[in-house]
């Protein structure tokens, strides 16, 4: 499949289709073309290692016409090496309905140098790229799979060609990836007199070449080894090289061409023109604002009331007219309010209109979650973004984590009206530290959102009050939650867990040595002003302690699930580790019954390192044993040469969590 990066427009998600929509297909050629025969004749290279498949050839040729249309030819040849590799005998070509045209799509399976004729048809199937939140989508794809007929040693190949108008005179392409590859090539052909402005990012620099007349430029990677699938790989390292190109037409062109942006100001102007009349109002919108802000004592209260209202609107996307840029155009604010639904750009636009009615100015802001990769300042393009939020003007009286001073607008509060769990004043984790583009007059550069500290932003506070019985069973209650993203996580737990399932899910969140846990009640508190949200459950469990000979009793206090501590069991690592922030502050109070007394407490444990910290201590308070625990992981990148140290730190944390308190039964 093509590993090229299609332009990602302002939609919240780009999704693999959950359902197949059969609309006919194209049968395979009678025989493979020369390029595939040549690729299949190559021996399996040593660099394949233990990979399930090896990419013999991955080639893309994009031809840009003087009219602003383009043609994209893609070819790929993959040799299946193991039974698991059969899943790679599939192809996928994306296109935009009513704009692009899939001119051809062919696939072949070669075994021992000959085309395999399988007993059943393998047609290309047309699918819509959508989910339950998208009621209409012009993002489509044609797919085909030979996985059910492929065998180790076979070579699967395919060729696709798509033609259509370019939205921007810009392209983004990824080269390299997880599977070993012999040749990965991208070629760009442009009209005479045109010029290219390329930007390269990534750990590997591809070989570049150009024709003497400058019309044909190619980038190529060769003989890349296998990279096993590893957890927590930084998004920027998903491709070994990222190529971003802006195409500049020859001066004095006589036809209207798509935009190619050389400054961020040009990108902002394009987005502003597209949305010039969309942030509208009417009597119904004005009345809704008056009702929502009635009784609000200040602007901050008004922002919270309006922000919460828009957050609660149903997320629904209607992706129409994408080929002319309407993927970046919000629907009118009055329409979104009247219908009660919208996607991210619709919600951001409605909130701007409502804030304006309340006398508060806000600006549309383009964003991209960090998990999808970085937004590069060197390549001005709206195509780097796939999300929309708002930047709200605030004065010096509002001091919140999501406020930044930004020239020339002063202090701006950044807010995501699509995120259901993150309250106004906070930032979703996936946006923290990301580059955004404020779409307003005077905007000529990216703005970097703050990356908030683990404490208190991610600090999940857990408290458990337990009563131990003489037979070793316990009963009590436990609460978890916090402010910032810790509170957002608790809200997400509540929103995605039905009332009937909450007791069951609460059992799963209790771990360690407890067996037979029964949760009888789950309650919650949520203060949207402070951002604090807590979930409390009442539970009981038999056999909490272990009775030993001689009257000794062992009590292990890890009564909470430790899934937040990542596990890396591999001894070696090929890719860096991206640490996601983790913060936990626990307090467990165990009340002792008559007849069981304290014998020995574990020593205090303190672990520190460049990646985080851990501290655990026990103390006696009357007839109770109190355990305090603090664990943090800081946002950052662990290079491959430091992987062993990071792995050792996590292992030491897990070991410290397994310590036990020694009790004794009275004689």
Q: How far apart are CA 516 and CA 143, in angstroms?
A: 48
> What topology is assigned to 266-452 in CATH?
C8orf32 fold (3.10.620)
Q: How far apart are CA 341 and CA 316, in angstroms?
A: 6
Q: By mean pLDDT, which of 381-395, 505-519, 571-585, 593-607 is the weakest?
A: 505-519
Contact indicator for 584, 591 with CB cutoff of 8 Å: no
| Spatial CA neighbour of 199 closest among 155, 159, 243, 168 | 243
**pLDDT of the residue at 490:** 95
Name the band, by pLDDT with cuts 50, 70 and 90, for residue 10: very low
- Averaged pLDDT score across all residues of the chain: 90
**pLDDT of the residue at 310:** 98
pLDDT higher than 70, residue 1? no
If 0-12 CB within 10 Å is exposed, 13-18 middle and 19+ buried, where does residue 594 land?
exposed
Contact indicator for 429, 369 with CB cutoff of 8 Å: no
Would you tell me which CATH number, out of the four given (3.30.930.10, 3.40.50.1980, 2.60.120.1130, 3.40.1350.10), belongs to the domain 455-665?
2.60.120.1130
pLDDT higher than 60, residue 241? yes
Mean pLDDT value of segment 368-386: 94
Q: 124-158 pLDDT, tens per residue?
A: 999 987 777 888 889 999 999 999 999 999 999 99
Name the band, by pLDDT with cuts 50, 70 and 90, for residue 506: confident
Contact indicator for 557, 588 with CB cutoff of 8 Å: yes
**pLDDT of the residue at 512:** 54
**pLDDT of the residue at 399:** 95
**pLDDT of the residue at 2:** 30
Q: Please, what is the Cα angle at 116 between 110 and 117, to 5 degrees?
A: 155
Q: How far apart are CA 301 and CA 289, in angstroms?
A: 13
The two structure tokens encoding residue 94: 């994306």
Name the band, by pLDDT with cuts 50, 70 and 90, for residue 4: very low
**pLDDT of the residue at 29:** 42
pLDDT higher than 70, residue 18? no
CA 310 to chain centre: 22
Q: 429-442 pLDDT, tens per residue?
A: 999 999 999 999 99
Cα torsion 28, 32, 33, 36 to 10°: value is 120
91 Cβ contact partners less than 8 Å away, ≥ 6 residues apart: 1, 76, 105, 107, 124, 143, 144, 145, 156, 158, 160
If 0-12 CB within 10 Å is exposed, 13-18 middle and 19+ buried, where does residue 89 land?
buried
Name the band, by pLDDT with cuts 50, 70 and 90, for residue 238: confident
Between 613 and 564, the more confident residue is 613
Q: Where are the domains of the chain?
A: 19-248, 266-452, 455-665
**pLDDT of the residue at 7:** 31
Percent of the chain residues topping a pLDDT of 90: 76
Name the band, by pLDDT with cuts 50, 70 and 90, for residue 122: confident
Q: How far apart are CA 613 and CA 630, in angstroms?
A: 8
Place of tokens 């090496």: 81
The two structure tokens encoding residue 356: 């304006």
Q: 356-367 pLDDT, tens per residue?
A: 999 999 999 999
User: Does residue 233 sit in helix, strand or coil?
Assistant: coil
The pTM for the full model equals 0.90
Mean pLDDT value of segment 55-62: 98
Q: How far apart are CA 485 and CA 487, in angstroms?
A: 5
**pLDDT of the residue at 30:** 54
pLDDT higher than 50, residue 17? no
**pLDDT of the residue at 294:** 97
Q: What is the CA radius of gyration of the chain?
A: 29
Contact indicator for 296, 308 with CB cutoff of 8 Å: no
E strands, 65-112, are 69-80, 90-96, 101-111
Q: 311-359 pLDDT, tens per residue?
A: 999 999 988 888 888 889 999 999 999 999 999 999 999 999 999 999 9
Name the band, by pLDDT with cuts 50, 70 and 90, for residue 511: low
Mean pLDDT value of segment 193-206: 94
The two structure tokens encoding residue 186: 């991208």
Q: 72-114 pLDDT, tens per residue?
A: 999 999 999 999 999 999 999 999 998 999 999 999 999 998 9
**pLDDT of the residue at 362:** 98
pLDDT higher than 60, residue 49? yes
| Spatial CA neighbour of 48 closest among 181, 247, 234, 198 | 181
**pLDDT of the residue at 444:** 94
Architecture of the CATH domain 19-248: Sandwich (2.60)
**pLDDT of the residue at 513:** 56
């Amino acid at each position: 499949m093509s590993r090229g990066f299609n332009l990602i427009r302002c939609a919240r998600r780009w999704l693999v289709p959950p359902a197949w929509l059969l609309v006919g297909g194209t049968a395979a050629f009678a025989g493979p073309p020369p390029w595939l025969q040549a690729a299949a004749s190559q021996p399996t290279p040593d660099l394949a290692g233990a990979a399930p498949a090896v990419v013999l050839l991955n080639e893309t040729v994009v031809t840009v016409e003087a009219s602003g249309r383009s043609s994209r030819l893609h070819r790929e040849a993959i040799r299946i090496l193991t039974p698991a590799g059969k899943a790679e005998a599939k192809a996928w070509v994306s296109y935009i309905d009513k704009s692009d045209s899939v001119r051809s799509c062919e696939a072949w399976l070669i075994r021992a140098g000959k085309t395999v004729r399988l007993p059943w048809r393998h047609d290309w199937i047309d699918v819509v790229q959508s989910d339950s939140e998208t009621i209409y989508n012009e993002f489509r794809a044609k797919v085909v799979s030979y996985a059910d007929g492929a065998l180790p040693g076979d070579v699967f190949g395919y060729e696709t060609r798509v033609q259509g108008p370019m939205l921007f005179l810009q392209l983004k392409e990824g080269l390299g990836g997880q599977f070993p590859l012999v040749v990965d090539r991208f070629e760009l052909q442009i009209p005479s007199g045109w010029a290219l402005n390329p930007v390269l990012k990534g750990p590997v620099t591809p070989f570049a070449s150009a024709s003497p007349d400058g019309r044909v430029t190619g980038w190529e990677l060769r003989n890349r080894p296998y990279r096993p699938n590893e957890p927590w790989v930084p998004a920027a390292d998903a491709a070994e090289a990222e190529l971003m190109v802006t195409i500049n037409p020859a001066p004095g062109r006589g036809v209207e061409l798509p935009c190619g942006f050389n400054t961020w100001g040009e990108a902002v102007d394009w987005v502003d023109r597209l949305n010039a009349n969309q942030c509208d109002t009417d009597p119904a919108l004005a009345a809704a604002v008056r009702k929502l802000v009635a009784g609000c004592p200040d602007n901050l209260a008004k922002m919270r009331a309006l922000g919460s209202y828009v957050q609660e609107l149903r997320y629904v996307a209607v992706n129409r007219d994408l080929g002319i840029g309407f993927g970046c155009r919000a629907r009118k604010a009055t329409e979104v309010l009247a219908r009660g639904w919208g996607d991210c750009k619709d919600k951001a636009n409605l909130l701007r209109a409502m804030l304006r009615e309340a006398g508060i100015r806000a600006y549309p802001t383009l964003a991209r979650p960090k998990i999808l990769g970085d937004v590069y300042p060197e390549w001005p393009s709206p195509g780097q973004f796939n999300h929309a939020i708002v930047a709200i003007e605030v004065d010096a009286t509002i001091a919140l984590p999501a406020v930044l001073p930004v020239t020339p607008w002063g202090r701006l509060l950044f807010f995501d009206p699509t995120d259901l769990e993150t309250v106004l004043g906070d930032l979703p984790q996936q946006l923290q530290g990301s580059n955004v583009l404020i779409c307003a007059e005077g905007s000529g550069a990216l703005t970097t959102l703050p990356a908030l500290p683990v404490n208190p932003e991610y600090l999940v506070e857990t408290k458990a009050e337990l009563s131990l019985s003489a037979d070793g069973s316990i009963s009590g209650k436990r609460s978890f939650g916090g402010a910032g993203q810790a509170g957002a996580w608790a809200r997400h737990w509540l929103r995605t867990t039905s009332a009937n399932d909450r007791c069951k899910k609460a059992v799963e969140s209790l771990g360690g040595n407890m067996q037979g846990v029964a949760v009888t009640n789950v309650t919650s508190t949520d203060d949207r002003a402070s951002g604090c949200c807590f979930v409390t459950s009442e539970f009981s469990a038999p056999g909490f302690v272990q009775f030993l000979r001689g009257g000794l009793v062992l009590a292990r206090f890890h009564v909470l699930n430790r899934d937040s501590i990542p596990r890396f069991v591999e001894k070696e690592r090929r890719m860096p580790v991206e640490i996601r922030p983790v913060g936990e502050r626990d307090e467990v109070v165990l009340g002792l019954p008559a007849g069981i007394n304290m014998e020995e407490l574990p020593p205090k444990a303190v672990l520190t390192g460049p990646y985080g910290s851990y501290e655990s201590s026990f103390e006696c308070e009357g007839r109770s044993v109190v355990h305090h625990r603090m664990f943090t992981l800081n946002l950052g990148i662990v290079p491959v040469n430091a992987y062993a140290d990071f792995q050792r730190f996590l292992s030491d944390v897990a070991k410290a969590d397994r310590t036990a308190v020694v009790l004794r039964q009275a004689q």
